Amino acid sequence: MDPFNENKPARSPWLVVLAVLTFIFSGMSFLGYFLTSLASGAIPSAIEMYENMGMPKEMIDTMRNFVEVPSWQFLLLSLGYALAVIGAALMLKINKIGLHLYIIAQIWLFVMCNLVIRGIFSMNMLSIFMTIVMISCYWLLMREALRNKENEIQYTDYEDITEEQDDDDDE
């Protein structure tokens, strides 16, 4: 290894950490909302069953709020989370479009939660703050990764220089 070679690996370990967190959270949210969109017709009978079992009133009220949301809105939420996962996967490959897809997904989810569905799905200030932090971190790490990738392409290793080329430099 050349001690004078200042090339850094294109992908930061922090980019991998953020992508893994995105895969876990957005992947589980995608599955949850997608399955909810498919099973939303069964929720009223589940509410009745849980009421008969003596479940807490808060849980029953939450389930009633889910019934009020049409299944197509859950499907659109799952689409936003799927887009976030695709964006994170592309960012791991140091593809700039991944960052754009991730940002579009976050805007989509904000609009769906706060302007379309509302109610218990509205994002609180902590959720909005964390979304901004994630977008900022992804932006900074992708900027660094794209610079490192560009430098890696432009860099010529000194071992690849032939003796003839080296002699030309001495003249």
Where are the chain's structural domains?
13-148
The confidence score (pLDDT) of residue 148 equals: 86
The confidence score (pLDDT) of residue 1 equals: 42
Q: Going residue by residue through the chain (171 aa), what tens digit of pLDDT does each one get?
A: 445 555 556 789 999 999 999 999 999 999 999 999 998 888 888 888 888 898 898 888 888 888 889 999 999 999 999 999 999 999 999 999 999 999 999 999 999 999 999 888 899 999 999 999 999 999 999 999 999 888 776 655 555 555 555 555 555
The confidence score (pLDDT) of residue 102 equals: 98
The confidence score (pLDDT) of residue 41 equals: 82
Torsion of CA 157, 158, 159, 162, to 10 degrees: 120
pTM greater than 0.75 (yes/no): yes
142: tokens are 């992708």
